[in-house]
Each structure stands twice: as C-alpha cells, then as structure tokens.
Copies of this chain bind each other. A is one copy, B any other.
C-alpha cells in the first residue's frame, strides 16, 4: 500500500505545525500574487502514526547488512559500525552551517584533516581532497586532473583514455564526461590486462588508463608495474579506481604500483553505510605530480603559537585546482563516519581488513569449487571477491545466474552481483567481506548446493524464485514499457 493510499483529504499531522503559523492569518503581502503557488500542493495527508507505521513496515521489506548476508561483489557490504553513525550524528556536527566561520568548525575540520592524512598514508600518495561525493565523482575528478596536467604542459593531443573491458561502467562514463574518447583493452584468460594489446594502443594520443587493482575479476593485476611503465613512458598517466581497495589495505599501495591518482569509495572500504543507494564519498588522492590539480576545498593546517588551526584551502591556495565539485565540501557526515572507522582500525586494523576479506573470499571460493561450481578464473588466487560462472548450468539446465540469484533470496542471502563484469557469461561476483563469520559462509555454500540440486531436479523451483519474499519476480519489461514513475500522474 502506498503512502498516498493512506491519505485522507483534510488530515494534518499538527504536531509538525510550525509555531505561530496555525493561528496567524497568512501575511504574505511581501510576495506578489503572480509569484504565489496557485495549484495547491499535493502531498500525502497522513497522521504521524500512519507515517511511522508505513515506513517502519516498508523498511522490513529490505534486505540489508543488518539483517542478511549481502555478498554483493564490488560493493564491499561489510558491517557499518553503529558507533560511526552515533558519533557522526552528534548535535555539534549536525548543526554546523557550512558557511560558518572556521572558528566555529575546528572540531569537524580537525577530523577531515586527519582523514586526508590517513588516506595519503594508506595509498602511498601525496595529497587528498575529500570533496567528491561518490566514486564516480572521484573518477571524474581524477580524470579531469589528468587532463589538467596534460593541458598545463601544453600537451593537447591526448584525447584517449584506456579502460579494460572488465572495468566498471562508471570508468568509461567518467572519461567521456572529461571529454575523452574511451578505448577498451582486452583481458587475457588469466584475468590480467592483455599487455600486447595495451602496447599496441598506447601512444601520444593516450591521456591515461583507468584500472582497478585487484580488478573486477577478483584477481590482482600482477603486471601492474609493467603497465605503469608502458603508460608513463608514453606520457600517459594512471588512474586507480579504488572500489576494490579493501583487498589490499596495508598490503600494497597504489602509489607504489605507479598510480598517479586514485579515488576511494569510503562507502566500501571505510564502511560508511550505503543507505539503499547512497550517500557515499569518493576522496581523490594524488601523487606529487597531480596534487596541484586536486579539487577544492581541502583542509589545511597551520601552527599558530602552540596551537593547531585548521582552515579551508580554496582557489587562492590551489590556483591549479580543477575547481569545485559541489556547493560546499562534499559529504562531510559520511567522511566523519569514515574517519571514525579508520581511527578504530588503526594501522594494524587496516591490514587485518585485507587479510580477512581475502581469507573469507578464498575460503568461500574453495568451498564452492569443491561443491561443483565453476570458477571464472580457477587458476588464480581470489582477492576479496571471486567469480562463479553458471554458463554450464544455464546451458544444460536452463537455469540462469539470475535464477540462482533470486533463489538465494528465498534462502535468506542477498544475491551476489550478477552479470558483472560483462566479459564473464552467467556470472556471480561474490564478495563476502571480512566481517562475516564462517558459519554464514558455510550457510551460503549450503544454499548454493541446494539450489544446484533444485536446478537439476526441479528447475521451476529456481526459475520461479523468489517465492517467500514480499513480491514474486517483478516484470522489468513492463516497468520500462508502461512507465509509471509518479503516483500523481498515474492513469
């Protein structure tokens, strides 16, 4: 039932009335008639209990980390510590106006400054800007910085960005937003970038390459140093898509691999909540070469007397910056959560994240392999995630990766990522994360095995899934064909 269907004309949740407005006749003489709203505003008219009950009940229809195992590959759905939420929502943080004087923001600015430093350290880079609101905006910023670098050198022939075929869709999309043509690089059967192919396309037109490492195939790109030198020799730069940073935290650093700029999805590696879609934050971190181009604002530190004073760095401080990405300084509330999380981990904790996320992935991979599932790249060590391909099952049993995914829901597990990366057919990209316990991984294996049995013996059980959720399988085609996006505009 929609909130609109609970609405009744004339109902008003008057606890939320605005003081004084109820009794006062509206005194809007200050606003010309022509400027006033004519068609009266339509919103649901519900009581407070109706709203609370509606949105409480609705929430229960979601799977989430707090309720279910959520091995969504590439998304790093690990536990979002409640402490990070409570502390980031302290009234002192929530109440601060972004235009308020620096005097009145030293608490939050100190935290942001510290976070900048931590991110530099963990990536082996020089400087951080926290302002991108998500990974994709970080990608835009990073590629724009690459462009600014070439432009600053007068190197204006470079109009191409290289992207492996395994890359996330945001990579090519971001490159295009920066005005680049995108050239895809194939991946070899080992899951590494095809170096010969790479050598062939690199040239004076190459602005740079965008890579994830570990790649979205769940393997570590072993030839990364060679790739870096191929690019750098040709005058191109390297962009690191930090979506998979969880796998290598404290183990190896993008800066040491030869990357020039990276973004970090703090809503993955630094465990800020994904909130059913966002917000995230996508800090960009650059080496010496690209640091001058980082987006503003950043937080700077000054020692005055014995005291440390934090201040915003803007255009005057960073004249070569690519500029501003948002009205203020990014998703500060999210960054505070990431900072709190980073402080709780400490240096050792970061390495433990990598250790155990990789342990869980390899354990799960091994068990699924033993149970008869086909791995996309069986000869390689998994990183924090790995790929099962159900090509055989799809062909022989007519049960697709999507069917498996939906049936997993019936068994109380969120489905892994399906059909990504695009180059592996019928694939499930599985990322358990380090915060899941072994019992849970075992239960997932058991569910997968059960479904495989069902696929063999009663495939309709799988193809018709899910059976036990609030709805059965939904008609996506109808959703797109008979567009219904707005209740007030419905026929």
Contacts and interface: CB of A to CB of B under 8 A. Distances in A.
A56 B67 contact: yes
Contact of A47 (B57, B68, B435): B435
B53 A67 contact: yes
A213 B52 CA distance: 32
Contact of A81 (B48, B344, B435): B48
Contact of A49 (B56, B57, B79, B344): B79
A3 to B, nearest CB: 13
B6 A81 contact: no
B439 A6 contact: yes
A6 B83 CA distance: 22
Nearest to A66: B56
A68 B344 CA distance: 39
Contact of A437 (B47, B67, B68, B90): B47
A8 interface: yes
Given A8-B437, A439-B6, A81 B15 contact: yes
Interface string A98-116: 0000000000000000000
A436 interface: yes
A33 interface: no
Interface in A33-85: 47-50, 52-53, 56-57, 60, 65-68, 78-79, 81-83
Contacts of A344: 15
B49 A65 contact: yes
A75 to B, nearest CB: 16
A344 B380 CA distance: 64
Contact of A52 (B78, B79, B436): B79
A128 B286 CA distance: 66
Contacts of A67: 53, 56-57, 60
Contacts of A82: 48, 52
Contacts of A91: 90-91
A91 B89 CA distance: 12
Contacts of A50: 437
A192 B435 CA distance: 62
User: Of A67, A78, A344, which is in contact with the most chain B CB atoms at under 10 Å from its CB?
Assistant: A67
Interface in A7-50: 8, 15, 47-50
Nearest to A345: B15
A106 to B, nearest CB: 20
A53 B81 contact: no
B437 A79 contact: no
A170 to B, nearest CB: 28
Contacts of A8: 437
A8, A49, A78, A83, most chain B CB atoms within 10 A: A49
A65 B57 CA distance: 11
A101 to B, nearest CB: 24
A329 B53 CA distance: 33
Given A48-B82, A53-B66, 15 more contacts: A6-B439, A15-B83, A15-B344, A47-B435, A48-B79, A49-B435, A49-B436, A49-B437, A53-B65, A53-B68, A56-B67, A57-B67, A60-B67, A90-B91, A91-B91
14 contacts: A6-B439, A8-B437, A15-B81, A15-B83, A15-B344, A47-B435, A49-B65, A49-B78, A49-B436, A52-B66, A53-B66, A53-B67, A56-B67, A60-B60
Interface of A: 6, 8, 15, 47-50, 52-53, 56-57, 60, 65-68, 78-79, 81-83, 90-91, 344, 435-437, 439
